[in-house]
Structure 1
Amino acid sequence: MPASVLRQLFSIVTVLIAALLVVDAVFLMSTGLVNFGVVLPLCIGCGLMVLRWKSQQFGRWRSQKLWRQKVWMLARLLAGAWLLSLVLFFIFLQRSNDAAGLTDKKTAAVKAIMVLGSGSLKCSASPTLAARLDLGLEWARRLPAAKVLVTGGKNWTLPCSEAQIMGDYLRAHGLAAERIIQEERSTTTYENLLFSQPLLEKNAVMPQDGILIVSSDFHVLRARMIAHRLGWSSVQTAGAATPLYIRYNDWLREYFSFIKGFLLRMY
């Protein structure tokens, strides 16, 4: 196939990918979802569109200096390496989720079920948060003696805390109020677990006791690693399926959260 045809095909594919990234991000932002996993694809999509639109001018500018050509080559190599690492992380995340199955035998000693928040833009449960809460309710019915702790602080734009939203959701779906514990200060996964410890201990649940952490499928691995770092020795995790329309945006955000966790020595 002639090189000119290959370049044209590459250009078409690039434009299609860029358009897909932009449309996806705009759609999610129109529903109220604005986070790093949404904004970054939007920026990448816009950048690719500008590069294709100004490709001839950029090519002439790049060819004028040798150092510009070298920088461009380095940038392409780094972008390729980053994309490869992202794909490998997605594969790793999927396999870790597949391997996190629970059995009644594993959860027989569970004394508390902890449902982690996922961020809310309104004083009501988002689809992702509702999926976590529904899974928490399922396990609460299977483990009737376990306390149910919901954890999540207040978004500065809202009059309610996420734990309040979660507690209201559980009570509205029939869970007894006396089983529910609300932790309303945390704003990160690390704080979710750290600030929950004293509340659990007040309810006679120690770090060495059985604790079931419920979150989204992409999130349970990092939550489990942080819990072990904090000394929780008998932790199990249950992951709720992430809605497909937001799944890979959330996985992208989790990629950077994982890196942040390693840098801050959270594991």
Structure 2
Amino acid sequence: MIRILLIISGVIIILDCLALMALGKINFGTVVPLMIGIIFVVHGVYWLRIRQFIERNRLLKRLWYGLWVLFVLWLISFGIFIGSLQQQIELSKQPVAQVAAIMILGSGTKDGRPTPTLAERLDRAVPIIKAQPQALVITTGGIGFGRTQSEAEVMANYLHKVHNIAFARVLQEGKSTSTEENMSYSQALLAQHQVSLDEPIAIVTSDFHTIRAVAIARHQGYEQPIAVASTTPLSIRYNSWFREYFAFVSGWLLGEY
């Protein structure tokens, strides 16, 4: 039974990752699961031989069992993270109350246009922007390697051209290169327009990114951050969740929250 489960799980993971890689999505969220899938299949196919081999060496046997214990513990922690993430996503779907500002976090551009993920974030922000004309709107993101426009400018252009949001309505934070910097550099814009960090501020980002975004905001002094989640396409959703787990752990180790 264990062998069958390992083989089936491994094949599904491998096919999923290869399909995404064929579409150019080669990143931590596809490479690491691909390696895990290959390990599953190899263990499933050669389970008896592996067991016979490790039984000959006590140290190797302890190491093998120890690695499986660590994997199970990691799997439990990953399950807890996913459960917490799903709760946060559900909260992010609730109607947005009155806010002082709407901050849209960057997620990459290509050929002067938002990536599909970033376009989803911008589209998600538009109903709130139009429903709350008094709220400041901030687009965030600096100039990437080989680019001539900041991500914040590309986002403002998109809001104007696609959704008819006036340029005058949008403040651009065009220096940041990370979520932490998005939040930090935006504070100057908020202060210039007399918006205090203790006021409610909507943070628009992808659903998988909501936990980390809110944690970073609170760490930087935002007292009422309200996560607004855009939907991640099903084709990349679970790989994004996997990648975000490690990003969350990395952020904690680096003291971002």
Structure 1 length-normalised TM: 0.86
The CA deviation string for residues 155-183 of structure 1, in whole angstroms up to 9 with x for no partner, is 32544432233122111121101111222
Written as runs of structure 1 = structure 2, the 5 A alignment for 1:219-230 is 219-230=209-220
Match of 1:168 in 2: 157
Match of 2:7 in 1: 15
Amino acid at match of 1:254: E
Distance 1:54 1:203 in 2: 64
Contact 2:30/2:239, CA 8 A, preserved across alignment: yes
Question: Which blocks of at least 5 consecutive residues in structure 1 are unaligned?
Answer: 1-5
1:146 aligns with one of 112, 135, 140? 135
Change (3 A) 1:253 1:122: farther
Distance 1:33 1:162 in 2: 20
What percentage of residue pairs aligned between the two structures are identical? Answer: 36
Distance 2:206 2:185 in 1: 20
Change (3 A) 1:47 1:187: farther
Question: For structure 1, which segment, 119-128 or 185-194, has the greater mean C-alpha deviation from structure 2 after superposition?
Answer: 119-128
Contact 1:32/1:121, CA 8 A, preserved across alignment: no
Match of 1:132 in 2: 121
Match of 1:117 in 2: 106
Amino acid at match of 2:129: A
Distance 2:17 2:126 in 1: 31
Amino acid at match of 2:252: F
User: Does 1:210 find its partner at 2:181?
Assistant: no
Amino acid at match of 1:131: E
Distance 1:160 1:25 in 2: 32
Structure 2 length-normalised TM: 0.89
Change (3 A) 1:224 1:259: same
Report the alpha carbon displacement of residue 194 of structure 1 after superposing the two structures with TM: 0.7
Change (3 A) 1:46 1:163: farther
Question: Which blocks of at least 5 consecutive residues in structure 2 are unaligned?
Answer: none
Written as runs of structure 1 = structure 2, the 5 A alignment for 1:65-84 is 65-84=57-76
- Partner of 1:219, secondary structure, is helix
Question: For structure 1, which segment, 83-92 or 21-30, has the greater mean C-alpha deviation from structure 2 after superposition?
Answer: 21-30
Contact 1:115/1:151, CA 8 A, preserved across alignment: yes
Match of 1:3 in 2: none
1:239 aligns with one of 229, 238, 246? 229
Match of 2:241 in 1: 251
- Partner of 1:150, secondary structure, is strand
Written as runs of structure 1 = structure 2, the 5 A alignment for 1:184-199 is 184-199=174-189
- Partner of 2:101, secondary structure, is strand
Match of 1:37 in 2: 29
Amino acid at match of 2:102: I
Aligned-pair RMSD on alpha carbons?
2.2
Question: For structure 1, which segment, 67-76 or 185-194, has the greater mean C-alpha deviation from structure 2 after superposition?
Answer: 185-194
Change (3 A) 1:194 1:216: same
Distance 2:142 2:243 in 1: 20
